[in-house]
């Protein structure tokens, strides 16, 4: 904590804060284990001991704190919390057995990873500037949203073709959200029309998959 207090370099402060969060989380796990010796110990991301129990719950808990700090414009703290949450969500995905839950976790990982990357870029570009109330919030441009939407929808189509319909559905939904953001920031009317067509196309497919996953016992959903 003293190192963080006196450190002037923003990048170094971020790294120190990440380590503090990491060790505090581990300390909480050990405290809980010592208080309840009969309770199975929760595994820390990256650890090779013990079995995972509630990585998803812990990830959600941490990401709520990240969002709170993000909204307060405490971007360095939010970034480290997003990173910590992504570690837990990654572990939750690794050990998740329910195939319907996995795509939802992946979608959340993509969402928070995108935000963490935006914050990282912002912090790096403003590392030498003083942060006060006038500091602009970090943003992702419309072109960034469009590029990411295209990446996600390609993955959706691949899973669709492989008949991984549950995962494809979640990815289509994720891509639609990103296309909507791209549409919001797009200035060129011709480009906007192209994005609208993509939104309509993938929304239609997502709805087909949703109906299939809800009602169909088997077979291939209609195209």
Q: How many residues does the chain have?
A: 223
Please check whether residues 10 and 119 belong to one and the same domain: yes
**Residue finishing a domain among 63, 95, 125:** 125
Please check whether residues 120 and 189 belong to one and the same domain: no
Please check whether residues 159 and 66 belong to one and the same domain: no
Q: Euclidean distance between the first and final Cα of the chain, in Å? A: 57
Assign 152 to helix, strand or coil.
Answer: helix
Expressed as residue numbers, the domain containing 98 is 6-125
Q: CATH number of the domain that 112 lies in?
A: 1.20.58.80
Q: Could you give the number of structural domains in the chain?
A: 2
- Which pLDDT belongs to residue 114? 84
- Range of weakest confidence among 12-16, 60-64, 75-79, 164-168: 12-16
Please check whether residues 115 and 160 belong to one and the same domain: no
Q: Report how far Cα 54 is from the mean position of its chain's Cα atoms.
A: 18
Average pLDDT, the chain: 76
Please check whether residues 119 and 151 belong to one and the same domain: no
Tens of pLDDT, residues 162-211? 888 888 888 898 888 888 878 887 888 888 899 999 999 999 999 999 88
Please check whether residues 149 and 73 belong to one and the same domain: no
**Residue finishing a domain among 95, 125, 155:** 125
Q: How far apart are CA 174 and CA 176, in angstroms?
A: 5
Please check whether residues 110 and 156 belong to one and the same domain: no
Q: How distant, in Å, are the alpha carbons of 19, 144, 161, 176 from that of 151?
A: 32, 11, 16, 12
**Residue finishing a domain among 74, 94, 125:** 125
On whether residue 163 sits in a domain, the answer given is: yes
Mean pLDDT throughout 15-34? 58
Please check whether residues 25 and 96 belong to one and the same domain: yes
Tens of pLDDT, residues 100-138? 888 888 888 888 888 888 888 888 877 655 545 555 566
């Amino acid at each position: 904590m003293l190192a963080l207090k006196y450190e002037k370099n923003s990048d170094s402060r971020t790294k120190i804060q990440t380590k503090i969060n990491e060790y505090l989380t581990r300390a909480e796990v050990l405290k809980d284990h010592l208080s309840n010796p009969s309770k199975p110990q929760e595994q820390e991301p990256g650890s090779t001991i013990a079995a995972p129990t509630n990585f998803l719950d812990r990830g959600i808990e941490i990401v709520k704190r990240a969002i709170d700090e993000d909204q307060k414009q405490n971007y360095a703290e939010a970034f480290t919390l997003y990173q910590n949450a992504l570690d837990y969500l990654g572990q939750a995905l690794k050990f998740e057995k329910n195939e319907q839950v996995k795509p939802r976790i992946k979608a959340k990982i993509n969402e928070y990873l995108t935000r963490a990357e935006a914050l990282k870029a912002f912090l790096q570009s403003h590392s030498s500037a003083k942060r006060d109330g006038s500091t602009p919030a970090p943003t992702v441009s419309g072109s960034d949203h469009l590029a990411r939407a295209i990446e996600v929808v390609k993955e959706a189509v691949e899973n669709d073709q492989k008949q991984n319909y549950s995962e494809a559905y979640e990815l289509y939904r994720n891509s639609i959200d990103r296309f909507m953001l791209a549409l919001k920031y797009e200035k060129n009317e011709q480009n906007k029309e192209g994005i609208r067509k993509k939104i309509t196309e993938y929304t239609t497919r997502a709805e087909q998959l949703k109906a299939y996953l809800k009602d169909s016992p088997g077979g291939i959903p209609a195209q």
